[in-house]
Structure 1
Amino acid sequence: MSQFALEVKALTKTIGKKTIVDDVSFQVERGEIFGLLGPNGAGKTTIIRMIVSLINRTGGTVLINGHDLDDSFTEAMNELGAIVENPEFYKYLSGYKNLKHYARMALSDISEERINEVTELVGLENAINDKVRTYSLGMRQRLGVAQAILHKPSILILDEPTNGLDPQGIREFRDYLRLLASQGTSVLVSSHLLSEMQLMCDRFAIIEKGKLIHISSMHDNETSEARKVKTIEVELSNPTLASKLLTEHMTDVKVTSSKGTRLTLSVRKEQIPMINKLFVENDIDVFEILNVKATLEDRFLEITNKDKKEQMV
């Protein structure tokens, strides 16, 4: 058994003289949700289509659970489940009959128990005997996941899986993916919804203009400099006086915004008690001090803007 559910090495795609994907390499560990981030046209979908063999690679290697797509295509594809774009079904058949039809086409035997198991996993047990044409978009997405994991793949690959879902559907879908990951199935997911990716993923890679420009853990989405400087939000009785005091006594503390009774400050951790003491000694009531965490959107913009500046130098 391979250490990784998916390994992508030097993946490249050129069309004519244009390079769509340029020497991209990454690995997806077992039981993790790995996100591909990037603006529209960055090459995310092209990468996914090459991994699932919907389009040919110009160069590079793809290994799925240790099986090389070039040398062991059947074995590799049997370790893979995927939803690229919207899942399609026979709408005049029930969800159960669609799964049964897919089970008959699988390389390995799929038992009735397995069909019932995945049906329950994605929360469709009460609707599995209804015709698919009666399903909502969210239900069809869940049926798609059931179909994709029916044969117990090592990795599930999803391209923009939450497109068109309402907030409730997105949350349910995210919960299903976390449950899958906890049971050992790896997930590679591409999306432009950064807030959802932050809640969903363990690690992420940023693709821009076909290149992989950054890869890190979702829990490490701050730069080393950002760890030294924190953003806090303070609610107090006299924000105008508070700003004046900071300007006079703590010149290295930056007031980044002021809204109503709240100030947003850029500070070092050790300065927070001194700031609180300064306010209290000057008869300013401090109602709340909150730590403002950097979002994935902040990190994404920081990285992509930095990459653009470096290219201009």
Structure 2
Amino acid sequence: MVQFALEVKSLTKTIGKKTIVNDVSFQVEKGEIFGLLGPNGAGKTTIIRMIVSLINRTGGTVLVNGKDLDNSFTAAMNELGAIVENPEFYKYLSGFKNLRHYARMALGEVSDERINEVTKLVGLEKAIHDKVRTYSLGMRQRLGVAQAILHKPTILILDEPTNGLDPQGIREFRDYLRFLTSQGTSVLVSSHLLSEMQLMCDRFAIIEHGKLIHISSMHENDASEAEKPKTVIVEISDPIIAAKLLAEHMPDIKVTSKEGSRLTLSLRKDKIPSFNKLFVENNIDVFEIMNVKATLEDRFLEITNKDRKEQTT
């Protein structure tokens, strides 16, 4: 049984003497949303264009459900659905007629029943027979997803899919992708919107200057992360005495700031019960303990800054 929905091995793109994408390798697991992160111009769109064969690869291999794009092109491409940049449609036709037009180009038969099925999936039932020129940007994005999944691809590839969407449209789009993965579809999505990718993805890779510099789960749950200091905010009745108690009895816990009734502490997670007990035993009321989680933006900046420092040393 094939383990990965998509495998990219040593993907490279050069134009003249300039290397646009440099030896990039990653895998997308079945049923996951995998994000390609990076600033504009990092090479994300070039990677996606090579995967879907819109441009030639200088080097590297692309496997779709184990099918090599070079040796089994038609079979591999039939497993893919994609939206690269903004989806384009015939604006003088209805959404339904646009989908029927794309259905005729599929390798297998796509029935009107399937068109109705994907229309319902993306929430366009009420507007599907209206002309596309009347659609909002969010509706056109939904129609793009419907078009991309008409032929039941096993992996959906999206390049900056939320560009121009309002917050409601972004949330709906994210919900559609989650539903698709619950049905077994895998998703590769690229974006520079870190806050949105944090809510959307299971794993992510960071691309910078055409190179892959990091791959990680969106959730920090490995053993090494458990040993790292955490930032914790404690709301208490007497922060001054609390700080003195910590300095005397638990000097390994660092007080990084004091603000009103709150102390901000840097400590390992396993130290939380100990300082809480220390405060209670000394008649300090503890109203709230909040764990401040690093955002994807924090992690992105930490990783990219570290990579730049390593390159300059």
TM-score range for the pair, normalised by the shorter chain length: over 0.9
Q: C-alpha separation between the residues in 2 aligned to 1:267 and 1:133?
A: 56
Over 3 Å counting, the alpha-carbon distance change for 1:223 and 1:301 in structure 2 is farther
Over 3 Å counting, the alpha-carbon distance change for 1:129 and 1:225 in structure 2 is closer
Two-structure CA RMSD over aligned residues (Å): 1.8
**1:214 maps to what in 2?**
214
Report the secondary structure of 1:196's partner residue: helix
Aligned partners of 1:83 and 1:157 also within 8 Å: yes
Seq. identity, %: 84
1:35-94 CA-partner distances (Å, limit 9, x unpaired): 111122211111011111111111111112222222222222111111111111111111
Over 3 Å counting, the alpha-carbon distance change for 1:17 and 1:221 in structure 2 is farther
1:156-213 CA-partner distances (Å, limit 9, x unpaired): 1001101111111111100100100110111000011212212211111111111111
> 2:301 aligned with 1:301, yes or no?
yes
Paired letter, 1:277: K
Aligned partners of 1:221 and 1:294 also within 8 Å: no
Q: C-alpha separation between the residues in 2 aligned to 1:41 and 1:156?
A: 22
Paired letter, 1:27: Q
Structure-to-structure mapping, 1:30-45, within 5 angstroms? 30-45=30-45
Structure-to-structure mapping, 1:78-93, within 5 angstroms? 78-93=78-93
The Cα of 1:229 is off from its aligned counterpart by 2.4
Aligned partners of 2:246 and 2:253 also within 8 Å: yes
User: More deviation in 114-123 or 293-302?
Assistant: 293-302
Aligned residue pairs: how many?
A: 313
Paired letter, 1:58: T
**1:60 maps to what in 2?**
60
The Cα of 1:263 is off from its aligned counterpart by 2.2
**1:11 maps to what in 2?**
11
Aligned partners of 1:236 and 1:287 also within 8 Å: yes
**2:203 maps to what in 1?**
203
Stretches of 4+ moved more than 6 A in 1? Answer: none
Report the secondary structure of 1:57's partner residue: coil
**1:159 maps to what in 2?**
159
User: More deviation in 109-118 or 293-302?
Assistant: 293-302
Aligned partners of 2:238 and 2:261 also within 8 Å: yes
Q: C-alpha separation between the residues in 1 aligned to 2:220 and 2:276?
A: 28
Structure-to-structure mapping, 1:1-313, within 5 angstroms? 2-220=2-220, 224=224, 227-313=227-313
Over 3 Å counting, the alpha-carbon distance change for 1:285 and 1:173 in structure 2 is same
Aligned partners of 1:21 and 1:47 also within 8 Å: yes
Aligned partners of 2:226 and 2:268 also within 8 Å: no
The Cα of 1:237 is off from its aligned counterpart by 2.6
Paired letter, 1:105: M
Paired letter, 1:155: I
Aligned partners of 1:158 and 1:190 also within 8 Å: yes
Q: C-alpha separation between the residues in 2 aligned to 1:43 and 1:272?
A: 43
TM-score by length of structure 2 reads 0.94
Paired letter, 1:82: A
The Cα of 1:121 is off from its aligned counterpart by 0.6
TM-score by length of structure 1 reads 0.94
Q: C-alpha separation between the residues in 2 aligned to 1:223 and 1:94?
A: 53
Q: C-alpha separation between the residues in 1 aligned to 2:221 and 2:8?
A: 23
Unaligned stretches of 5+ residues in structure 1: none
Over 3 Å counting, the alpha-carbon distance change for 1:260 and 1:95 in structure 2 is farther
Aligned partners of 2:33 and 2:188 also within 8 Å: yes
The Cα of 1:270 is off from its aligned counterpart by 3.2
Over 3 Å counting, the alpha-carbon distance change for 1:298 and 1:223 in structure 2 is farther
Unaligned stretches of 5+ residues in structure 2: none
Aligned partners of 2:62 and 2:69 also within 8 Å: yes
The Cα of 1:275 is off from its aligned counterpart by 1.8
The Cα of 1:22 is off from its aligned counterpart by 0.6
Report the secondary structure of 1:219's partner residue: coil
The Cα of 1:19 is off from its aligned counterpart by 0.9
1:94-134 CA-partner distances (Å, limit 9, x unpaired): 11111011111111110111101100111111111111111
